[in-house]
A and B are shown apart, each in its own frame.
Chain A
Amino acid sequence: MDITVRENDGIVILDINGEIDLYNAPDIKENIKGQMEGGKTNIIINLDKVSYIDSSGIGVLISSLSNLKKAGGSLKIINVYASVRKVFELTKLTSFFDIYDSEEEALTSYNA
């Protein structure tokens, strides 16, 4: 799994590529923690290139969302497809997260 960090108008976008599992999920958490320490609390996670996510991965997204909210920020998820969407649906967390179909939508939601 690779994480690429971009920034758009103060909003951090993490492009994740690969499978998210028990062993690498903490990397995402650490990365977001690092962003928060750098004062960035509005984060978009792009799951476009993610083929698989397990319960630990979901767990990391949940705790990151919670941490960001506590810091007055937000976590939005974009491009959730196929098996990853299935996992979100199975765990009934689709409405728990802010999920957007595209990056533009997620970005405009901040301006609204």
Chain B
Amino acid sequence: MLTNLLYLKIAITMVMMIVMLFEWRRFKSSKAQVLFLIFAVMFLKEIAFVIRLFSIPFADLLKGVEEFAPVKDNIINNLGKIFESSNEALLPVKASLDNLIMVWHFIEVFFCIILFHLVHLWVSLGEKGKFRKAFTIINTLLLGAAVFFVGKSGTYSSYKWIFTVWQSGLLFSGIILIGRIYKYTFLDLKYLIAHKLAISFAFVPFILFYFLNTITPFINKPFSMVFQITGIISLCVFSYKFMHFSLDSIRNKVVEIRKERSLVITLLQDIGHAMAENLSQGIVMERIINAALKSTDARTGCVLLIEERTNSLGVEVVTGFYPPVTKMDLGNLTKEKFLIEKFKSTRVKIGESYLGKVAETGESLFIRDAKDDDRIEQTAKGLMDIRTVITVPLKIQDDILGVMSIINKESAPVFSDADFSLMETLGDQAAITLNQVKLYQEMLEKKQSEKELSVAGNIQMALLPTEFKDYDKIDVSAFSHAAKGVGGDYYDLIDFGNGKVGIIMTDVAGKGVPAALIMVMIRSVLRTYAKEDREARDVITTVNNTIAGDVTEERYATMFYFIFDSEYKILNYCNAAHGPLLLYRSNLDSFALLDTEGMPVGILPDVEYGQEYTSLHSGDIAVLYTDGITEAMNLNREQFGLDRVKKIVRENKHLRAKELTDMIYEQVEEFVGAAPQHDDQTLLLMKAK
């Protein structure tokens, strides 16, 4: 019976040793490695124990442990006579085998208890709570000292009592550890909290093993072996469970990561749909916080965004009852509804409270146990106690846009590390989305302003006459080609009747809507003030005095204005620093440049402008242009220049005004080719009939 039990004990340890060896190789798990070593040493110890039996003289054996006599006989019968004949020779081996068993006890303790405590200590050091840390350190030091003492205490027989006391201590410590599972101490080992009940069951046989080991020397009866085997089986069950749980925790991690990934993908799709439908920052933030609540199983959450103007955080969206960050004395008014409204209207100064600190530092905050944490102020005690908090910054690179925060988990007392990691991912996603929404809205605004600009451009172009009626004595044609959007070129013809016309060519400095506005101003003044009996100088002086006071100095315009009396063919002109009028005199076949004194309009009021009169003949051609024509540049950086205009006019003087302007336009286009033009190209041509 006893022999069989002894064999069973050896067999079990061997099987477990092999099982753990396989587990170790299969999962590359350090836990399986440790357990393999435990069982391997245990197996060697049992073998050593059997060998030791043969080294004890028969007399000793009968005096000491009588129950092993049949064992020995059995083994001798089974293994032959070799051991019997050399019994005496094996005597010196006895002492070393005793030591081997001693070493086993040492290693057993080291792996099963001390290592466990060291892990516990290592995890605890990362936690707050001075008491827990101190307790774990003292606990570990005590156990370490005990092991050291045991190792020093010589042979098995002489330290039996000390060994017993020490093992009792271990038992006690084991019981305390089980007790601490229910006091959150085991939160440090996440897979233990997940299966705390199962772990407790696994620990009971573990302790039973030690208990039985402890009392075996005192019972000294045959069935003590049964206790020992029960102990070993319990340890096997524990080892199996332990492996099982550690594998489970890996599986759980994989599941968590998959969950996180699928959540982020769903969220991205969700946001994509939201963006396609109607993109508002509030809606997108609401979707993100809802995704956060759903996936972490949090009770309430909120998103706060930084308002740069006030250097504070404003509540963008809040779901559920999120307690205010600062305490208020409300008397009996502490109603939930009131507090929710209070929070919604809160401005959290950056750097103040836990939310403001995250916004300031840009570092995530995870307060597992917030109950007694002095970073958290319990502002709605009784209504919404803050038990656990995760707050993450919404930041893109170093630019912090706001914070997202969740409070209290529904299904567990505290948030898990997986929840924290998920929140950090969501925080990043929220920041990216926020940025996209911002860019998208900027793009929309830009589009809107481009639209307005093109409307302004259309209005401006509509103010430029494109068709001129057939006058008896003159033939007029013009074109204006805007370089980009809204330009600042403006020309006009005012028909005074009696064969008199006023013609203007202006170029406003700058571009875009401001330039167009100045152009419209000039047009209004001109259209109101220019009359057939008002000389060119008067008109320009009035335009200048009207614009100069109202408009900033850098918005000025060059302007050429003339009045032509086609009846008498007299031209009265005045130039405010515009390009001189190019006049082709048909009778002389030569060109003249008509110019007068004066600076651009809009700079200074009361500028003195000059004016001149000249007479034209039939066939004379007057050309007004802006520098977009003369300075039109091709890819070789050559300018079109006035000479090319002269050449076209001279060679085609017989053509109608419209044909001439078309030709000039075509030749300018041909000249510049693919070179981009930065200035409007405007030209007006009047031919005297």
Q: Footprint of B on A, CB under 8 Å?
A: 21-22, 29, 55-56, 58-60, 62-63, 65-66, 90-93, 96
What count of chain B residues pass the 8 Å CB interface test?
A: 19
Given contacts A91-B599, A93-B577, A96-B603, A62 and B511 within 8 Å (CB-CB)? no
Q: Does A66 lie within 8 Å of B553, measured CB to CB?
A: yes
* B144 touches A (CB below 8 Å): no
> Which of A29, A62, A65 lies in contact with B556, CB distance below 8 A?
A62
Given contacts A55-B507, A55-B509, A55-B510, A92 and B556 within 8 Å (CB-CB)? no
A-B pairs, top 6 by smallest CB distance, nearest first, are: A59-B554, A55-B509, A63-B554, A63-B553, A92-B577, A62-B553
Residues 580-620 of B, flagged 1 when their CB comes within 8 A of A and 0 if not, give 00000000000000000111100110000000000000000
A65 to B604, CA, bound (A): 12
Residues of A within 8 A of B558 (CB): 55, 91
Given contacts A55-B507, A55-B509, A59-B510, A93 and B552 within 8 Å (CB-CB)? no
Q: How far is the CB of B560 from chain A (nearest CB, A)?
A: 12
A54 to B555, CA, bound (A): 13
Q: Does A60 lie within 8 Å of B577, measured CB to CB?
A: no
> Which of A62, A90, A92 lies in contact with B554, CB distance below 8 A?
A62
Given contacts A90-B579, A92-B577, A93-B577, A59 and B511 within 8 Å (CB-CB)? no
Q: Does A59 lie within 8 Å of B555, measured CB to CB?
A: yes
- Central interface residue in A58, A62, A65, by most chain B CB within 10 Å: A62
A3 to B555, CA, bound (A): 23
Q: Does A92 lie within 8 Å of B598, measured CB to CB?
A: yes
For A61, the closest partner residue in chain B by CB is B554
A56 to B433, CA, bound (A): 39
Q: Does A93 lie within 8 Å of B600, measured CB to CB?
A: yes
A90 to B509, CA, bound (A): 14
Residues of A within 8 A of B603 (CB): 62, 93, 96
25 contacts between A and B (CB under 8 A): A21-B678, A22-B511, A29-B554, A55-B509, A55-B510, A56-B509, A56-B510, A58-B509, A59-B509, A59-B510, A59-B554, A59-B555, A60-B554, A62-B554, A63-B553, A65-B553, A66-B553, A91-B558, A91-B600, A92-B577, A92-B599, A93-B577, A93-B599, A93-B600, A96-B604
Q: Does B554 lie within 8 Å of A22, measured CB to CB?
A: no
- Central interface residue in A29, A55, A65, by most chain B CB within 10 Å: A55
A86 to B645, CA, bound (A): 20
Residues of A within 8 A of B552 (CB): 63
A108 to B128, CA, bound (A): 74
Residues of A within 8 A of B600 (CB): 91-93
> Which of B553, B577, B597, B604 lies in contact with A59, CB distance below 8 A?
B553
Q: How far is the CB of B608 from chain A (nearest CB, A)?
A: 12
Residues of B within 8 A of A63 (CB): 552-554
Q: How far is the CB of B680 from chain A (nearest CB, A)?
A: 11
Q: Is the interface of A mostly helix, strand, loop or mixed?
A: helix
Q: Does A92 lie within 8 Å of B597, measured CB to CB?
A: yes
A66 to B554, CA, bound (A): 10
Given contacts A90-B577, A91-B577, A56 and B597 within 8 Å (CB-CB)? no
Residues 534-561 of B, flagged 1 when their CB comes within 8 A of A and 0 if not, give 0000000000000000001111101000
For A87, the closest partner residue in chain B by CB is B627
A20 to B125, CA, bound (A): 65
A90 to B593, CA, bound (A): 13
Q: How far is the CB of A26 from chain B (nearest CB, A)?
A: 9
Q: How far is the CB of A4 from chain B (nearest CB, A)?
A: 23
Q: How far is the CB of B460 from chain A (nearest CB, A)?
A: 17
- Central interface residue in B511, B579, B597, B603, by most chain A CB within 10 Å: B603
For A29, the closest partner residue in chain B by CB is B554
For B607, the closest partner residue in chain A by CB is A96
For A58, the closest partner residue in chain B by CB is B509
For A66, the closest partner residue in chain B by CB is B553
Residues of B within 8 A of A29 (CB): 554
A60 to B576, CA, bound (A): 19
For A93, the closest partner residue in chain B by CB is B599
A29 to B507, CA, bound (A): 22
Q: How far is the CB of B514 from chain A (nearest CB, A)?
A: 11
Q: How far is the CB of A33 from chain B (nearest CB, A)?
A: 13
A63 to B552, CA, bound (A): 7
Residues of B within 8 A of A58 (CB): 509, 556
A58 to B558, CA, bound (A): 12
Q: Does A56 lie within 8 Å of B554, measured CB to CB?
A: yes
For B552, the closest partner residue in chain A by CB is A63
Residues of A within 8 A of B598 (CB): 92
Q: How far is the CB of B596 from chain A (nearest CB, A)?
A: 10
Residues of B within 8 A of A93 (CB): 577, 599-600, 603
Q: How far is the CB of A39 from chain B (nearest CB, A)?
A: 22
Residues of B within 8 A of A22 (CB): 510-511, 678
A26 to B40, CA, bound (A): 83
Q: How far is the CB of B488 from chain A (nearest CB, A)?
A: 9
Q: How far is the CB of A75 from chain B (nearest CB, A)?
A: 12
Residues of B within 8 A of A56 (CB): 509-510, 554
For A55, the closest partner residue in chain B by CB is B509
A59 to B551, CA, bound (A): 12
A35 to B599, CA, bound (A): 28
A90 to B475, CA, bound (A): 29
Q: Does B599 lie within 8 Å of A59, measured CB to CB?
A: no
Residues of B within 8 A of A59 (CB): 509-510, 553-556
Residues of B within 8 A of A66 (CB): 553
A96 to B434, CA, bound (A): 52
Residues of A within 8 A of B599 (CB): 91-93, 96
Residues of A within 8 A of B597 (CB): 92
Residues of A within 8 A of B553 (CB): 59, 62-63, 65-66
For B679, the closest partner residue in chain A by CB is A54
Residues of A within 8 A of B510 (CB): 22, 55-56, 59
Residues of B within 8 A of A65 (CB): 553
Q: How far is the CB of B627 from chain A (nearest CB, A)?
A: 8
Residues 669-689 of B, flagged 1 when their CB comes within 8 A of A and 0 if not, give 000000000100000000000
